[in-house]
Amino acid sequence: DKILMYTDGIIEAEDAKGKQLGINGFINFFKSSIYLSTEEIIETILHGINEYSPNPIKDDVYLILAGIK
């Protein structure tokens, strides 16, 4: 099991046309990496956000992921 906490700066990341990533886009990054280690999931999500948003993100970005056994 995993617990994921994030700030709205992540889902408000914009692509080159100004379209926000949104919760569904964020969930897609997370779902594609769900079986990786917590470190790899964070790297995958952050890489996806950086690929999606070519410009600097305007808001704060915090992402906390905890794996629970």
Model confidence, pTM: 0.80
Measured distance CA(67)–CA(59) in Å, rounded:
26
**3-state class of 22 per DSSP?**
helix
Q: Identify the residue whose tokens are 């709205």.
A: 8
Angle made by CA atoms 45, 5, 24, in degrees to the nearest 5: 55
- CA 69 to CA 60: how far, in whole Å? 30
pLDDT at 29: 83
Residue pair 63/49 in contact (Cβ under 8 Å)? The answer is: no
Each of the 69 residues of the chain gets a pLDDT tens digit; together they read 889 999 999 999 999 999 999 999 999 888 888 889 999 999 999 899 999 998 888 888 899 999 887
pLDDT computed for residue 57 by the predictor: 82
User: 17: helix, coil or strand?
Assistant: coil
